Amino acid sequence: MAKTSNLENHDQEKVAVVMVPLPAQGHLNQLLHLSRLISAYHLPLHYVGTTTHTRQAKIRVQGWDPHSISNIHFHEFSTPSCEIPPPNPQSSTKFPSQLMPSFHATCHLRDPITSLLRELARCNKRVIVIYDSLIAWVLQDAPFIANVECYSFRSISALNIHSLALEFAGKSTEPNLPSIEGCFTQEFSEFSRVQTEFRELVNSGDLYNSCYEIEGLYLDLLAKEKSASHKQWAVGPLNPVIPYDKKDSNKRHKCLEWLDKQEPNSVIFVSFGTTTSLSDNEIEELAIGLEQRQQKFIWVLRDADKGDIFTGDVRKVELPKGYEERVIGRGLIVRDWAPQLEILGHLSTGGFMSHCGWNSCMESISMGVPIIAWPMHSDQPRNAFLVTNVLKIGVVLKDWALREELVTSVMVEECVKRLMDSVEGDKMRERAVELRQSVVDGGGSHKEMDSFITHITR
């Protein structure tokens, strides 16, 4: 992991970095991966959050062991207990409202984080805070600590950020771009508005989990609209980009052993992330479509996360009677936490049916796997647009304009065939592999990360 470059000439031992993630899996994961990259520059790294969510981040991270890096320090703080509602798979909107109590509870992190920053500021030349853009309110005391600088981490695509900025300014966006109608709840929109106000008070620059090979057009547009003093760095992909598989480990997930027995590019991986629960009707139609197509598949079938994943019962999703027996040898149902990065990096995986969360998009792109896009909420419809219309490495299963209509088994069957068994799908796979190679060769974790480290250790 040791990073060697001319950056070693800087007085780095007097610069400390603090990570402040939002307590949702996609956000926790991205900032923990970023911690790994920055720690390679021999800077002390402090990852802060609630006890529950820090534990969640550490046990779910893939591609490396957080306990193996000596200069990453975890600070776990408690917040008052709050009611933790279960996800509602039958809700008319897919947005994960069950996470909102955890988001609101982060206001109680303000005092312990301020205390930590003051302690670090006393013994470091500079303290760099990288905070999720949706948790800016915990840093409202940071401007009063002389040697603290705060940088906003944007956990969504540059396309999303740019198009939202245009809309809020009353300007027109790219043609055919999906509407944000139905993407968020009013409660979340108000929460986000509050964070934006605090972000404007503390922000010294922006970091993106993206790179110019993927989103160069939109990154350039964002840079053009900022003042000369406002800096940005595209430091993605944050996840390890070399396929990682613990083949000699007894901790290896059973699904990887099943994948070992399949032909290259023969398996479709089906997973909708940690913030989506499918309805009973959606599960039935998806199950029938996969069975009728007779394409080999791995399907991660689990409910969305609660605010605390370690407490309470988890809904056991029901499949059609006898389904798992009928698909033995051709399909594998996974009901626990699955190693998504390792599955995508496996040679047998030829496609990914996904909700198009930005974490999943970046992991799929960095592993060279094309996508069947079924967006559910938040930034996902526009991520799906990026994957299918701009990068052309995916097909749309459900158009966002038709989000209230049920995805049928016929739609599933046709989309799987289109991606996995057609000349069009083969070309998408080729483009995905080419894009992956360009990302691996020149991604932001190289020159852009060097630039950011040079800046904070100046």
Q: What kind and span of H or E run contains 59?
A: helix 51-60
Q: Which of 156, 133, 141 is nearest to 22 (CA)?
A: 133
What SS3 state is found at 419?
helix
What gap in Å lies between CA 282 and CA 32, rounded to an integer? 33
Active-site hit among 33, 42, 53, 132: 132
Whether the Cβ atoms of residue 375 and residue 350 lie closer than 8 Å to each other: no
Residue 244 corresponds to which tokens in the numbers above? 């990682």
Give strand pairing partners of 127. 16, 148
What tokens does 159 get?
Answer: 């396309």
**Is residue 10 among the annotated active site residues?**
no
Among residues 27, 162, 253, 355, which one is catalytic? 27
In whole angstroms, what separates CA 398 from the centre of its chain? 21
Rounded Cα distance between 87 and 96, Å, is 7
State how far the Cα of 132 lies from the Cα of 191, in Å rounded to an integer: 13
Helix axes 158-168, 212-225, angle to 10 degrees: 30
377 is catalytic: no
What would the two tokens of residue 83 be? 């009611």
User: Which of the residues are catalytic?
Assistant: 27, 132
